[in-house]
Amino acid sequence: MDKYGTEQAPYCYPQSTTLRNHLGIINEDELISVERELTLLATDAIQFSPPPYDLAYLQSLHHQLFGDLLSSSTLSPGGAISWAWPVKR
């Protein structure tokens, strides 16, 4: 059983717990590092609004933070993070 509670999570690379991503990074530690750098850059470009937040706003934030690295199929496998898509652009 992997860290997502399945034999093989469909949104991870085969025989891996690393999320499928646009950069083809298979090493989980490397992906975490790149994700950290990209999200730091993305936060500089986001114009945050004051609360309360609705679902559309949270979807937009999620897309702005992770859209360059993770595909919509990775972000929306029908699991806990499936709320992230679709996002209207």
For residue 6, pLDDT beyond 80: no
In the prediction, which pLDDT does 81 show?
46
- Structural tokens at position 82: 């499936």
Average pLDDT over every residue of 69-86: 53
Domains of the chain: 1-89 (1.10.3290.10)
- Average pLDDT over the chain reads 78
Gap between the Cα atoms of 30 and 13, Å rounded: 14
Average pLDDT over residues 2-26: 81
Question: What is the model's pTM?
Answer: 0.67
Q: Could you report the per-residue pLDDT of 51-74, keeping only the tens digit for each?
A: 999 988 988 888 888 888 887 655
34 pLDDT more than 70: yes
